[in-house]
Structure 1
């Protein structure tokens, strides 16, 4: 089992508790982003993702909440 994550911010409009969020890793050297999988072929083509990577959509409020809290 991987190291525990800690929730840093989440979608303030979330009603069910399993919405897009930003998570911190134990080492504080990286983040885990929880969001909706990007499925638009035109957007995915622009990203040119390598094998093993995935694009997710995260509401701006999730990141704004995180950066506001860090000030």
Structure 2
């Protein structure tokens, strides 16, 4: 899988997460905060081999930017 960096959370301190990447497989990879809230996890059906992360609303501006990021692959 080849990743293209799209953007980091502009409000992150220190600047390292969340981060959004576009793949060469027509998908997205999201780096974010691990969801550990048991009530929230109980509301989801997360199959083995998958996980979920939380990102803030301010990251939504990066979606739709496609390959306009910086290639890190």
Q: TM-score, normalised by structure 2?
A: 0.74
Runs of 4+ residues over 4 Å off in structure 1? 67-70
- Whose helix fraction is larger, Structure 1's or Structure 2's? 1
- Whose strand fraction is larger, Structure 1's or Structure 2's? 2
Give the Cα separation in 2 of the matches to 1:12 and 1:23. 15
Task: Summarize deviations over 1:16-53 as a string: whole Å, max 9, x none.
Answer: 3311011111x151110010000011110111211011
Structure 2, unpaired ranges of 5+: 67-73
How many residues end up aligned between the 2 structures?
Answer: 66
Q: State the superposition RMSD in angstroms.
A: 2.0
Structure 1, unpaired ranges of 5+: none
